[in-house]
Amino acid sequence: MSVKSWGEVALHTLLIFLLFSAIFPLTFSAANQPRNPKKRNPQASDSSSAIFQVEGNVYPLGHYTVSLNIGYPPKLYDFDIDSGSDLTWVQCDAPCKGCTKPRDQLYKPNNNLVQCDEELCAGIHVSKERQCAAPSDQCDYEVEYADQGSSLGVLVRDHITLRYTNGSVLRPRIAFGCGYDQKYSGPNSAPSTTGVLGLGRGSASFLSQLHALGLIRNVVGPAKLLFDGKDTSVKDLELIFDSGSSYTYLNSKAYQAVVDRVINDLKRQRLERATDDPSLPICWKGTKPFKSLSDVKSYFKPLAFSFQKVKNSQLQLPPESYLIVTKHGNACLGILDGTEVGLENLNIIGDISLQDKIVIYDNEKEKIGWVSANCDRLNEL
């Protein structure tokens, strides 16, 4: 939810998966979870992955969602996914502003408030000084996003159901926000989801809490930009993988390098600029409207980010990872000028460039890994 672009209606659904490396005994349930989850069961499998099916698209919907079962007995809630923020929150069954779901779909606290004196409460505040009138007071939170949206509420703790590739089930108690005052900016309507799944690196994030419980192992250095396998002289790019951004944003220098090379390479192609398409800043049209990316990708060359400190490590971006076909039948560049929209020198790898990629977080080594995959086939797992 860091930098959003909300569209109109979903034309199709893409399925991708989030995988988190984990260590755990073969079978868990709410009744038989270990009292000390940091102790590894000697008969446990070496590792496995928790899988969440993700639905949505970059265009025209502009976001992806994931569903999680919360509570016991579990109840299903859908979340916007944001690796650029820490706090997970769900809309609260309380007097609220900005609530978009019927009351029976909201989360109802059940004597499970996080207290103000807990360390986790300190982790969600910018100031290290916790403002607690009394230690047993509830832990209030407020989170703001780069798109000027925000959520205000109280921190709670409840069971969240995790299903793994080997069939095991965990229901750890995780802290998250119960939001009762949400704000959404701009001309677009509020998202239809019940909340936000925060996958950042802060202590209150979903991943950090799982690591603190001993349920997962904690999973990018500067990169240079390549066009068609050739060096562009743009280097030392610090990249942020942000599932909350629909598009990819590069600083002005890197963005202009991409635009210049793409435009120059297209001079020999039968494409011309589609200046009347308002979908994105730079679009092209062919002799007839494009129906899908398969109609247009052969005209464009691949991009890549080559990581300077890791030998033979590249994030490959084929044309389908940086182009969209609009409702007008044009091909548009899904990479935007981040400096122009206030991101200064940040470079954000958004959803468009993460399609059909399995992303694995190794928090202990502070590394992130990925592999290309046909994600439509993964829903068979």
Half-sphere CA count of 347, side-chain side, radius 13 A? 20
- Residues β-bridged to residue 152: 142, 181
Enter the tokens of residue 321. Answer: 């990872």
82 is annotated as an active-site residue: yes
Tell which residue, 158, 167, 138, 123, has the closest CA to residue 28: 167
Catalytic residue among 78, 80, 82, 351: 82
CA distance 183 to 108: 20
Catalytic residue among 78, 86, 158, 242: 242
CA distance 122 to 40: 29
Tokens 């007008």, located at residue: 328
Q: In a 3-state reduction of DSSP, which class is residue 171? A: coil
Enter the tokens of residue 273. Answer: 């600029």
Enter the tokens of residue 101. Answer: 């779901």
CA distance 107 to 70: 9
What amino acid positions are annotated as catalytic residues? 82, 242
